[in-house]
Every structure is written in C-alpha cells, then in structure tokens.
Structure 1
C-alpha cells in the first residue's frame, strides 16, 4: 500500500483574508458562503406525466468575518460609508486564502462586489473576561474557487 499519493484534508484554522489586495490576517472566523441555483419546473403541453427542471437564478450566501476588536476603524468605516453613500461606490473584492501547516497557499475563494450589510460588536460585561469580537457581514455578487 503506497502512501505517497495520499492527500490529507486541510485544517480550517490557518487562513488569511485579503480585501482589495490588502492582507488582513487578524480574523478569527470566516464563513465561505454557499451557492445555490434555483430549479425551475417547466411542463410542456404535450407531456402530461412530469415536469422538466430548468436552471433558474443562482444565489450566493453572505460572508461573515469575525475578529477581536482593536483600535482599527477599517471595518466600521467601510460600513459607515455604505450607510452614508450606498453600496455602489463602496464595493470591494476579497479573497479567503486557506494555508497549510508549512504556510503554503492551498485553496482560495475570490468574492466580488462585496459590501457590508451588517456590523456588530459583542456585548460588553464588567463580569466577563472574553475578548470583544467585531463581526461584519458582507453581501456580494459572486464567489469562485480559484485554487
């Protein structure tokens, strides 16, 4: 039994995020959005027994990014710009890059025309000792795995 061809799956804890080409490595969580294509049923008048299924609209789930809250205002300012001026002038491209144990890039998802639809900071508590988390949710117009 040869082990030279074995391909182990990658671990999910080493990744980088690049937003418009700028590496932002401080995220603790990132969701790679799902994609789905709607099935549209169509029945021809001559076919009385079943409907055909045609492909309809493709939909993309949202991207969610989480990181520890710091004095960086980048994500909040992006959300603020969308609230003040709308999404059209504030869309960005981003990449989620999975890295192996040696630091090599092994998988990459490119997301286009992304803009923040939600910004959230975890609750504050004088009794707690957890890290405060900043969360941003992004709508977008497409994702493709390029690596």
Structure 2
C-alpha cells in the first residue's frame, strides 16, 4: 500500500528553516533572516621537546562564538534596533538574552538557540535606490558570550 503522506514520521523529513521566532529578553521580534549561529573550539598545539613523535598534539582550547546577524524589514515607528544601540556608553550596555526558536507546523519550538549576554555591535540601515523594487531591510549584528542549543 502506498504512503499518502497523511501520517509521516517526524524522523523522515528535516524541518524547514523558514518558520522561526526571535525573542529579545521577553519581546518577540519579527525577522526575515538570522545567520551566524556558529561556535568552535580553538585548537591548542603542544609538543614536548623530548617527544619521539615529530608532530604536535592538538587539544581543545577556548570556545569561540560568531556574531549573529539579523535582518528585518523597516516599519514605520519601529526603532527597537536604534534604541538599544543608542544605550551604548564606554564599556556600558544593557546585555540581554536572545532566544531563537525553529518552529514546527503547529508553532511549537523544536530547536532553540539561546544567546547569553547579547548586545548590538553594528546596525546597517537599508540602502535606498530610486529604481529599486525591493523591501527596505535593516541589519543588526549581535555579539554574545555564549550559545546554548536545545533540541526537542
């Protein structure tokens, strides 16, 4: 009997990436694109001088997190990016948790990335073009001190 697709297993198909939600502290924000959810362990190389193997040993070092870039459309009277960015003083900024959730078809979070102590490092306004036919999009770059991932 052929499978009509009405009762597909959750392990057969990967989740699409177009249905997601971003929370800044407790406020839900609408974004077109989120990128930069990367982390890596830096490599420490060490070799003792009397080691008979003529290559270094590689060990895990400090963890490094990429900046996260978020893009959204420009809306009238929506200045959340700019308000947060304008709070930056010399070594003083309000750091907030940011939660990015990949949602399933019912709107429930299936995979959640949480940024710790996030703050804005760069804002890029939209480009303007008199012959353009695109939506105005602005970009914010977020630095953070940690990334946790929860799946399921």
Q: Distance in 2 between matches of 1:118 and 1:53?
A: 35
User: Residue in 2 aligned with 1:137?
Assistant: 141
Superposition RMSD on alpha carbons, in Å?
1.6
User: Residue in 2 aligned with 1:31?
Assistant: 35
Give deviations 1:32-59, integer Å, cap 9, x for gaps.
4211111111112331323211211211
- Would you tell me which structure has more helix in proportion to its own residues? 1
Pick one of 4, 14, 17 that aligns with 2:19.
14
* Count, aligned residues: 142
Segments ≥4 residues shifted beyond 6 Å: none
Q: Distance in 1 between matches of 2:22 and 2:39?
A: 20
SS for the counterpart of 2:87 is helix
User: Residue in 1 aligned with 2:63?
Assistant: 58
The offset of 1:102, in angstroms, is 2.0
- TM-score scaled by structure 2? 0.86
Q: Residues 116 and 6 of structure 1: is their aligned pair in 2 closer, same or farther, counting only changes over 3 Å?
A: closer
CA contact (8 A) 2:20 2:102 kept: yes
Q: Distance in 2 between matches of 1:16 and 1:119?
A: 20
SS for the counterpart of 2:32 is strand
Structure 1 regions of 5+ residues with no counterpart? none
The offset of 1:5, in angstroms, is 6.8
Q: Distance in 2 between matches of 1:6 and 1:13?
A: 19
Q: Distance in 2 between matches of 1:77 and 1:87?
A: 17
- TM-score scaled by structure 1? 0.89
